[in-house]
Amino acid sequence: MDLPYPCLMFLADVDRVSAKTALGVAYWRPDACVGQLRLKGSEVDLGLADMSPAAAKAAGARSLLIGVANAGGFIPSHWEDVLVEALEAGLDLVSGLHTRLASLPRVRETAERLGRRLFEAREADPRFNVVAEGVKRTGQRLLTVGTDCAVGKMYAALALTKELKARGVNADFRATGQTGIFIAGSGAPIDAIVSDFVAGAAEALSPSAAVDHWDVIEGQGSLFHPAYAGVTLGLLHGSQPDAIVVCHDATRTAIDGLERFPTPSLAEAIDLNLRLARLTNPAVRAVGVSVNTSRLSPEAAAAYLNDAAEQLGLPCCDPVRASVAPIVDALLGGPARRDAA
């Protein structure tokens, strides 16, 4: 996507979990953000200047990006005034939500009248509407998986790609969600693809490559999430990963928003992901664990990571607090683990 950056980041009135798009773009593409626009009730501050659309336009912004990934991916009616204001201020609109901007009459009509553009990250590319074949491809692939949604699968994939490239390894980050697409500029919006084609889209996203090339594929959902397990399974089978990295939030004890479903142990998550991934790649191995420790003190985080590494026999890292180098060491150094924990 030829995204119109820099942008004014719209945080609306959501909590931190729902603002993961804004948080991800601001962290990985700070050059793309001019300021932020928050509504009353917003729980998130990116540390950017609070701006109106007109002020952002004057500061060089080219678009307003809806930095929200709420459950269901919808645009509430009370956001429309801001979207129209942004269009009238001279900004294009960028969205990764399921609600299409053009489906909102006021927004569509204002954009048409002013000649503004509406960018949709979740508009499925028909090139990804293919049925999976399950045929082994050349090249190597790593897939990030999770104990739940919003536990850092994209952060881990980006950090691993960065570390691989720093070592001179031929590697590419493959985005599968709106935030990753906003950061990378390309990818497959997996949750907007017909379920029959998810595995095929994962195959197309990581095609045959040189034997020493790594595709680092951003995971989605979780096998342990009652609503989003299906997309994870499709990615596991279509990606045919040679390696997986399990991602987890150190303080989360239940599936976010579904408290009656406990999060699995890391050992359980490693076991199930490996068993299901073996359908299309019997040689898949777990090479590490990426943990979001942002709600722990530095001392508690270090203790958590050390304990987990000792129990699992795998490197455990927080990709924001520290380097993922130990995981890349395990990835490039040979088999870390092929068996269940």
For the chain, how long is the longest CA-to-CA vector? 61
The pLDDT, as a whole number, for residue 338 is: 44
The residues pairing with 85 across neighbouring beta strands, listed in sequence order, are none
CA pair distance 70, 74, nearest whole angstrom? 7
The pLDDT, as a whole number, for residue 335 is: 54
The pLDDT, as a whole number, for residue 334 is: 63
Instruction: Provide φ and ψ at 20, rounded to 5°.
Output: -65, -30
Residue 200: other Cβ atoms inside 10 A = 21
The answer to whether residues 116 and 107 touch, using CB atoms and an 8 Å cutoff, is: no
The answer to whether residues 66 and 80 touch, using CB atoms and an 8 Å cutoff, is: no
Domains and CATH numbers, the chain: 7-120 (3.40.50.720), 127-333 (3.40.50.300)
169: left (phi over 0), alpha (psi -120 to 50) or beta: beta
Token representation of residue 175: 């985005």
Token representation of residue 149: 């949604």
* Three-state DSSP state, 10: strand
CA pair distance 119, 136, nearest whole angstrom? 35
Cα atoms found within 13 Å of the Cα of residue 9, Cβ hemisphere only: 32
The secondary element (H helix, E strand) that includes residue 170 is none
Residues of the chain with pLDDT under 50: 337-338, 340-341
Residue 76: other Cβ atoms inside 10 A = 12
**pTM listed for this prediction:** 0.92
Q: What is the pLDDT of residues 201-250, one digit of tens each?
A: 999 999 999 999 999 999 999 999 999 999 999 999 999 999 999 999 99
* Sheet with 7-12, side-by-side order of all strands: 33-38, 7-12, 63-66, 92-95, 118-120
